[in-house]
Structure 1
Amino acid sequence: MSQTLLFASDLSAENRAAFARAVRLAVESGARLDIIHVLDPYLPRRVLHDLEEAVVADIRTTLTDLREDYALPEPQSLIQTMAGAPYAEIIREAHERQADMIILGAHRKRGQPDLVAGTTLARVLRSAPCPVLSVSHLATQAWHDILVPVDFSLTSRQTLRETLRRFPEARLTLLHAWDIPGERELGSNGDYARWRDREVERLRTHLERETEQLMGELDDVPELELVLEQGDPLEVLMTRLRRQPPDLLALGSRGQLGRQSQITERLLSEPHCDIMLCRAW
């Protein structure tokens, strides 16, 4: 069965990077690229008809320009418009087309996480039937280094599985934040320190075993590194992104990473890299 990538265009200049990435992914994977634009349903019918033709023409022109800019062949593509609420139409189209991935531009209100929750991007992330890619960087930047926060949740396992399947040649860093009780009060105690070190090693062994089990399901396995860092999951992740940003962050949309909605809103308001969010199923 052929793959279908769904790209939702808002026709803005900021959306251009996401459009270019969508074209590149379609070319590299041999997938069909479905490009949609959602129109205001309250416009008069005659205006909608004229606007549809103008939007399709604009998208075709942009597609041609991007192919020339990035020296890419033309992917199999389909351009369509529809009227409605953008997030609802994107989710509906993803279901109907059985899309393998939704590609969107990054949230524009950078540095303002309190404005993210009600955006089209955030709403699509909560209900999408497939992985959602939020793009903020140029498509010329290859995804060599991918960061995957991991825990023991179903979503974390599925995110790692999706990443291993989609990017078999990338270098993956698996990041696990651990916070063992008593560290602040007993950290200097020798007996506690030895117990803590054993617990951390047990965590590492558990994670390595789970990772090896997933890798055994795949033919091509990328280079992997497992990193354990102490601290709150959100702060550990944000610190890592600021100090050593990857090319792509693969994150579960739900799970036990802690304060998941807050993590997502922070990430979308501070896009240090492109982000792929995956569901648990």
Structure 2
Amino acid sequence: MLKSVLVASDLSSRSEPAVQRAVQIVEATGAGLTVLHVVEGDLLEDRMREEVRSAEGYLSSQIAGFDLSSKTEIVVTMGHAFHVICEQAQDCKADMIVLGAHRRQFLRDVFTGTTIERVTRTAGRPVLMANAKTAEAWRKVFIATDMSEASGHAACKAHALGLLDNAEVTFVHGYAPITRQMMTHAGIPVERVHEEAEREFQSTRRDLGRFIQGLDLGDLNYNARIIEGVGADAIAGLVEQAKPGLLVIGTRGLSGVKRLFLGSVAQDLMGSLEIDVLAVPPQA
């Protein structure tokens, strides 16, 4: 279970959902909460002290608006946001980092190199990007899986942290029906193509069932859904249709047509979705 959560705020409106989500999580789990703000830039000493006092006052006022029973610490420090967030996460032994999203339509194109992307890639622990406008408990959770070790680890980590409790959990797997495509191009009769496509689908379904059963998920209740198509667009299309509250993804995976997460797919999903996204690195 969660013992410590770190949420980073830049004091802007886009950080408010992150703070609200972090509060909701620690209230549900009893974890401790650290609220961090990083003052960046080369400021004069007096100006720097003023910025720190202002940020501390703002965050204290924001947290006071919640009925928190968990231990809460406010930290305002100077430095580069990416480095400070990672260092603070290590210092407070955070089980998870919560960050607010940059709400820009072109985020998908500029995601690489942002603070969120760099923290996700290097912090060595799960990063929750809070996109949802409300901090209601997640009623529906999707776990994107390509049946790789990385995606399996992401599912196990989300379960171990208690983030799947009391939610309708669905494993989502995308696949490309290669046999049907090849047979269609070869001019094979439609009936035969359909038979082979069904056989391929049933094989994928059995593989997915064995993969999920092999995970250490205890008595977790879950569903599984196979969609046609691979990559971020296929997952994003289903998310738009089904509207889960949370998507869990692994940040790395294996290569090949059945292996979705090569880094860029996870980045595309984090940069384009309007729901909460939990990215879990292999080393978490």
What's the CA shift for 1:218? 4.2
* Structure 2 match to 1:50: 50
Name the aligned partner's letter for residue 10 of structure 1: D
* Letter aligned with residue 44 of structure 1: L
**Which 5+ residue runs of structure 2 have no aligned equivalent?**
none
Aligned to 1:280: 282
Structure 1: which 5+ residue stretches go unaligned?
Answer: none
| 1:237 matched residue in structure 2 | 235
Bigger shift: residues 183-192 or 141-150? 183-192
Q: Could you tell me how far 1:271 is from its partner in structure 2?
A: 2.5
CA shift, 1:227, in A, is 0.9
Aligned partner (choices 124, 136, 151) of residue 119 of structure 2: 124
Moved runs in structure 1, 4+ residues, more than 3 A? Answer: 187-193, 217-220, 256-262
Aligned residue type for 1:141: E
* 8 Å Cα contact 1:107/1:116 also seen in 2: no
> In 1, Cα distance between the equivalents of 2:107 and 2:135?
27
Tell me what 1:95 maps to.
90
2:32 corresponds to 1:32: yes
2:214 is paired with a residue of what secondary structure? helix
State how 1:1-281 maps to structure 2 within 5 Å: 3-65=3-65, 67=66, 72-165=67-160, 166=162, 167-187=164-184, 188-214=189-215, 217-222=216-221, 224-256=222-254, 257-258=259-260, 260-281=262-283
Q: Distance in 1 between matches of 2:214 and 2:262?
A: 26
Structure 2: which amino acid aligns with 1:244?
A: A
Task: Write the distance in 1 (CA, Å) between the matches of 2:237 and 2:54.
Answer: 44
Say which is worse superposed, 26-35 or 40-49, in terms of deviation. 40-49
Supply the AA of the counterpart residue of 2:234: V
Amino acid in the other structure paired with 1:211: I
> What amino acid is the match of 1:233?
G
Contact (CA 8 Å) 1:109, 1:269: kept in 2 or not?
no
Give a deviation string over 1:170-195, Cα, whole Å, max 9, x none.
11111111113242342454444333
Between the aligned partners of 2:264 and 2:109, the Cα distance in structure 1 is 9
Contact 1:168/1:220 (8 A) holds in 2:
no
1:97 and 1:145 mapped to 2: Cα distance?
30
CA distance in 2, matches of 1:271, 1:199: 30
**Residue identity in the other structure for 1:213:** G
The share of aligned pairs that are identical, in percent, is: 24
Q: 1:219 to 1:176 in 2, by over 3 A?
A: closer
Letter in 2 for 1:124: V
- Quick one: which amino acid aligns to residue 276 of structure 1? L
1:109 is paired with a residue of what secondary structure? Answer: coil
Q: What amino acid maps onto 1:279 in structure 2?
A: P
1:2: how far off?
7.3
CA RMSD of aligned residues (A): 2.1
Counterpart Cα distance in 1 of 2:80 and 2:218:
41
Q: Distance in 2 between the 1:73 and 1:113 partners?
A: 35
- Return the letter of the residue paired with 2:94: A
Q: TM-score, normalised by structure 1?
A: 0.89
